[in-house]
Structure 1
């Protein structure tokens, strides 16, 4: 799995506003039908010992965790047969953690990966092909290590998880302006410790989430089945400061990026900036239209929209790829786009004119050296059927 980009969703339970909107079970159905292969469940304590899914410290409504898991069980492989990852944030007490673990085991049944699905090679993750129709749980857990017998595992010391709702410094002013005062008091609290129960920990087999300290620490201590999460701000800082090291890190370990804090107008960050360094799960809000989701759809329309796209060789082997370099030792391609004509363009009706001045703009997104914008000539008062017959030429150094 470490060799693939994986279509990933953030705040999957939202269909609208992330602060005061309605948590909606249809968010999960919609994302799955769009080929998403990594869903997010933000789990909190609920009344009558029934855990709920919602956005913590906000006025959003809640959904029963049980209902979410039942819906996922029904639609998990409706669009794609390749493995589905459930990325869980656990903010529950031990009793409700055990409840979630029981739901995962009893509802997902044989879809839930277990020890018998471990790879023949106990030092690497199984491939998506080997994990067809399987659901993986991604979360912090008790520590694990391999035994001498290949494919077998044993549990060791208990690990204490950390609950952390991240608000970036630049986002705090936004929170103050849009979140009611009673809610804000909770949002600014310090993080607290949440100890994971053994019952819940046992369902986390392949994608244990661990805290990222630095690249050297990961090289020396991180295990192949452990993954990292990066807020968009921290990930961008690493891209700017240590892009090559980030690429090497992602050649060995799964990584997930997410938007931290509250973004204006519920916007998504640009995913290609993190694909450029090989990040596997670049999580976006699938219900927010715009450029980011256009790029995401373009990225994952390959392979029949199954949600998995093979990363290029220079990101998976002993890589020396530098996405920020202006000169690449790869095979560039020349892309020629011929803009012929337009049809049924809307007419501008004002007191001074009844036609439009038309042009077509083409934007290329990739590594910084390949990102470019070109446009055709402007046809003045061209009417509803402009004809350009223009060619736009791009030299793409890293077509992958």
Structure 2
């Protein structure tokens, strides 16, 4: 047991009390006694030995036996003898480790295969396997918020680096806030009315061109928040055309009746913003809303924010307390009040392939579906939370044809995030998160977009795309019957001894790992369970099973986290992953774990079993 895990008693009659009060206590102490770091076992768990005993012949698993195991346990009904032989042959290079026999695999070889990189929970051979010929509105799309920020929303640097990182992860929607530079002769990207430093727009565009299709060949959508005058809009139009050339998608008309498909838009870059004609309309107080104006209302941000509030109030010559847009809709903003402009640049307007909608009136009016025109609407996370209470069906009907973008509330100045499941449950395609952060919302986002070959587009389930005969649509809050039950068995974990220092978790003893397993999905399916903590072991063996009844497996994400138990302090993080249940392979699988930001560990993984009932 680690020294920190027990607290000795110091009563006046205790031996420890006598020691503390004696003069010898103040002499140079002897070296501390460490809990022994036991040799790490690489033996197969008993459950794996039992499986091997069922499928081996004279201590060897040949191609016939392995084929039967793959069909009966792993659920790979169509597997061939040749495929089984290929797996056996792949272990020949480890012959020196005593894992390979002349006719097949021994127990160690079988265990090594199961716990190896060639046995993941998602089938890598599937690639992009969903129908990619449906309209864009039929897909969840990997979306970033304020994609140019390196850190917090108030004072961090704007840069093309986070844009590059996001594209390399497979993000397909990049947001750029465009503002005039200090001399109003050029365009820069920054979070307006904050202390964030700017980056040149052209630098962001060039980086997007270079990295747009490294992770996926499916379209990249650039959402532009436009705070520009018409002359600068014309300059942006030239930048876009000169930078992207034939990659740029030109819409056939101003009013699309249906969005094109991801397949049709492959290797294309798409521009989405509000039509510039809206700059000629009188600006109301609602139009002057921004994320940061909400943030400034929260006193917790201190004097720095108070100063910023004063600057903004003076700049806009309005009472700040009234900057509260009723429905949290994103708007194109100019500095100061709206004044007449010269005619808008037609070449800029022509590049807008996905037109953003400006609604009027009540929220239900925003969500009305125009059968002759599709559009994009943006809602803050707070307004989504309000909308699902009374307008859930309208949200789903709207997103069957139109695009809905959800963005973080303004008080998330530290670039934290919200639970993306709420948006997905109601059909929102563009659930935008701050990609420069870390934490569970991002883990869920990464898990969702591991589906469909990691291409950044995941087909929405049929329940979100169609109406019933009576006009009813899916209700995430409804009490539904269980469609299937997922059983998850956690056998063991390994790899921390390679990826972490010996004293990382505990200074004087090996770690005490436990695993949390749960479902994120519709409210009825959401739950979390955990194993017991295994004390003082770098290679913990749990062998515990958990059962998850699922009413809506089409929207369920399997959450897996490993933590190290600490009695007196916060438990240490030991790895995580999130997996789309609808693509999860049954059977015994090797589950790689990731760090807080979503980067894969070199060695840390779990051996688990998944079964659907």
| TM-score when normalising by structure 1 | 0.85
Alpha-carbon spacing, 1:206–1:17, altered in 2? closer, same or farther (3 Å): closer
Specify which of 388, 391, 396 is matched with residue 242 of structure 1: 391
1:317 matched residue in structure 2: 466
Q: Please say if residues 208 and 225 of structure 1, whose CA atoms lie closer than 8 Å, have aligned partners that are also in contact.
A: no
Give the greater-gyration-radius structure (CA): 2
2:169 matched residue in structure 1: 34
State the Cα distance separating 1:75 from its structure 2 match.
1.7
Q: Please say if residues 37 and 84 of structure 1, whose CA atoms lie closer than 8 Å, have aligned partners that are also in contact.
A: yes
1:103 matched residue in structure 2: 239
- Please state if 1:268 is matched with 2:421: no
- Distance in structure 2 (CA, Å) of the matches to 1:177 and 1:127: 47
- Please state if 1:66 is matched with 2:214: no
- Please state if 1:342 is matched with 2:493: yes
- Distance in structure 2 (CA, Å) of the matches to 1:313 and 1:83: 23
1:154 matched residue in structure 2: none
2:531 matched residue in structure 1: 376
Q: What is the root-mean-square deviation in Å for CA atoms of aligned residues?
A: 3.0
- Distance in structure 1 (CA, Å) of the matches to 2:303 and 2:402: 37
Q: Please say if residues 210 and 226 of structure 1, whose CA atoms lie closer than 8 Å, have aligned partners that are also in contact.
A: no
1:18-45 per-residue CA deviation (whole Å, 9 max, x = no partner) reads 2111111111111111111110010111
Q: Please say if residues 125 and 224 of structure 1, whose CA atoms lie closer than 8 Å, have aligned partners that are also in contact.
A: no
Residue ranges of structure 1 left out of the alignment (5+ in a row): 145-156
Q: Please say if residues 273 and 354 of structure 2, whose CA atoms lie closer than 8 Å, have aligned partners that are also in contact.
A: no
2:213 matched residue in structure 1: 77
What SS does structure 2 have at the residue aligned with 1:2? helix
Which of 334-343 and 196-205 deviates more?
196-205
- Please state if 1:139 is matched with 2:273: yes
Alpha-carbon spacing, 1:63–1:340, altered in 2? closer, same or farther (3 Å): same
- Please state if 1:24 is matched with 2:159: yes
Q: Please say if residues 178 and 188 of structure 2, whose CA atoms lie closer than 8 Å, have aligned partners that are also in contact.
A: yes
Alpha-carbon spacing, 1:164–1:134, altered in 2? closer, same or farther (3 Å): farther
Specify which of 536, 548, 551 is matched with residue 397 of structure 1: 551
- Distance in structure 2 (CA, Å) of the matches to 1:290 and 1:64: 30
- Distance in structure 2 (CA, Å) of the matches to 1:361 and 1:218: 39
What SS does structure 2 have at the residue aligned with 1:256? strand
Alpha-carbon spacing, 1:378–1:47, altered in 2? closer, same or farther (3 Å): closer
Alpha-carbon spacing, 1:207–1:19, altered in 2? closer, same or farther (3 Å): same
- Distance in structure 1 (CA, Å) of the matches to 2:390 and 2:367: 17
Q: Please say if residues 140 and 457 of structure 2, whose CA atoms lie closer than 8 Å, have aligned partners that are also in contact.
A: yes
- Please state if 1:183 is matched with 2:305: no
Q: Tell me how many residue pairs correspond in the alignment.
A: 381
Q: Please say if residues 359 and 366 of structure 2, whose CA atoms lie closer than 8 Å, have aligned partners that are also in contact.
A: no
Specify which of 183, 201, 210 is matched with residue 349 of structure 2: 201
What SS does structure 2 have at the residue aligned with 1:20? coil
- Please state if 1:228 is matched with 2:377: yes
1:386 matched residue in structure 2: 540
Alpha-carbon spacing, 1:398–1:216, altered in 2? closer, same or farther (3 Å): same
What SS does structure 2 have at the residue aligned with 1:205? strand
Q: Please say if residues 392 and 426 of structure 2, whose CA atoms lie closer than 8 Å, have aligned partners that are also in contact.
A: yes
Q: Please say if residues 224 and 252 of structure 1, whose CA atoms lie closer than 8 Å, have aligned partners that are also in contact.
A: no
| TM-score when normalising by structure 2 | 0.57
State the Cα distance separating 1:82 from its structure 2 match.
1.0
1:359 matched residue in structure 2: 514
- Distance in structure 2 (CA, Å) of the matches to 1:178 and 1:39: 32
What SS does structure 2 have at the residue aligned with 1:89? strand
Alpha-carbon spacing, 1:89–1:313, altered in 2? closer, same or farther (3 Å): same
Q: Please say if residues 42 and 55 of structure 1, whose CA atoms lie closer than 8 Å, have aligned partners that are also in contact.
A: yes
Q: Please say if residues 143 and 158 of structure 1, whose CA atoms lie closer than 8 Å, have aligned partners that are also in contact.
A: yes
State the Cα distance separating 1:79 from its structure 2 match.
1.7
Specify which of 256, 260, 273 is matched with residue 126 of structure 1: 260
Alpha-carbon spacing, 1:369–1:108, altered in 2? closer, same or farther (3 Å): same
What SS does structure 2 have at the residue aligned with 1:209? coil
Which of 50-59 and 92-101 deviates more?
92-101
- Distance in structure 2 (CA, Å) of the matches to 1:51 and 1:244: 41
2:479 matched residue in structure 1: 326
What SS does structure 1 have at the residue aligned with 2:517? strand
Specify which of 162, 170, 187 is matched with residue 51 of structure 1: 187
- Please state if 1:91 is matched with 2:227: yes
Q: Please say if residues 34 and 79 of structure 1, whose CA atoms lie closer than 8 Å, have aligned partners that are also in contact.
A: yes
Alpha-carbon spacing, 1:47–1:222, altered in 2? closer, same or farther (3 Å): farther
- Distance in structure 1 (CA, Å) of the matches to 2:219 and 2:269: 6
- Distance in structure 1 (CA, Å) of the matches to 2:261 and 2:272: 16
Alpha-carbon spacing, 1:4–1:73, altered in 2? closer, same or farther (3 Å): same
What SS does structure 2 have at the residue aligned with 1:342? strand
1:54-87 per-residue CA deviation (whole Å, 9 max, x = no partner) reads 0111111111112211221222222211111111
Alpha-carbon spacing, 1:8–1:113, altered in 2? closer, same or farther (3 Å): same
Q: Please say if residues 207 and 226 of structure 1, whose CA atoms lie closer than 8 Å, have aligned partners that are also in contact.
A: yes
